[in-house]
């Protein structure tokens, strides 16, 4: 078999937990052209290469019983964005995935209940949010566009979809159930 293009760099980035998407140029292109060859190459190493339906790649994580420390923080951060968009009546996916954000304009500390949720996962202020966003950049979920500005990338859908599901379940559980009663027309 010919050597797979960019194999070492792709392996190094994926093994560190990075997600590769179209924004990753040649690395993504190499994977997208020959996904089966890369999947076959990594399989004997015990690594499962996943091609997400939204067209990005990552190694299936092997957390075992240990959840990464950043995962609950990312989940709460994401849930707050979703809740904020829903409360404004905005289309959630368009709100999150379709615009750039300024760190100083995030809604995360605008409500006491948001700040309380963040404190539960040891995120106390915008400096902690910046650290969290730095981690999300390293794994390919956001891209900084300047010192304050960032946008979400396709791989963010891994956590975004789960948060949407949780948010919808919470709304469904808190919505009053409607009962349909039969009424007879009055004569």
What is the phi/psi pair of residue 75, to 5°?
-65, -45
Going by their DSSP bridges, the two strands 142-144 and 49-51 should be labelled as unpaired
Lookup: tokens for 165:
């599901």
Residue with tokens 């499962």: 48
Q: What is the pLDDT of residue 176?
A: 67
Q: Among candidates 82, 61, 59, which has minimal Cα distance to 70?
A: 61
Prediction pTM value: 0.84
Q: Is 138 helix (H, G, I), strand (E, B) or coil?
A: helix
Residue with tokens 């792709």: 10
User: Which domains can be identified in the chain, with CATH numbers?
Assistant: 7-59 (1.10.10.2250), 70-171 (1.10.10)
Are 34 and 41 in contact by the 8 Å Cβ rule? The answer is: no
Q: What is the pLDDT of residue 51?
A: 97
What is the phi/psi pair of residue 137, to 5°?
-70, -45
Q: What is the pLDDT of residue 181?
A: 42
Q: What is the pLDDT of residue 184?
A: 42
Q: What is the pLDDT of residue 62?
A: 79
Q: What is the mean pLDDT of each run of 10 residues along the chain (187 residues)?
A: 87 96 97 97 96 96 78 93 93 94 97 97 97 97 97 94 77 63 42
Supply the DSSP symbol for 14: H
């Amino acid at each position: 078999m010919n050597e797979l293009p960019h194999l070492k760099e792709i392996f190094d980035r994926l093994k560190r937990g990075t997600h590769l998407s179209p924004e990753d140029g040649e690395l993504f292109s190499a994977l997208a052209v020959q996904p089966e060859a890369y999947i076959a190459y990594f399989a004997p190493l015990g690594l499962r290469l996943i091609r997400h339906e939204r067209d990005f790649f990552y190694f299936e994580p092997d957390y075992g019983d240990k959840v990464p420390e950043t995962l609950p923080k990312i989940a709460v951060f994401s849930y707050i964005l979703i809740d904020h968009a829903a409360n404004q009546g905005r289309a959630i996916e368009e709100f999150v995935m379709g615009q750039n954000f300024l760190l100083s304009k995030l809604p995360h500390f605008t409500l006491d209940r948001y700040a309380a949720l963040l404190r539960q996962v040891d995120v106390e202020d915008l400096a902690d949010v910046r650290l969290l966003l730095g981690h999300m950049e390293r794994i390919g979920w956001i891209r900084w566009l300047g010192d304050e500005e960032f946008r979400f990338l396709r791989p963010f859908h891994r956590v975004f979809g789960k948060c949407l599901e949780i948010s919808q379940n919470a709304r469904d559980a808190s919505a009053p159930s409607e009962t349909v009663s039969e009424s007879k027309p009055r004569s």
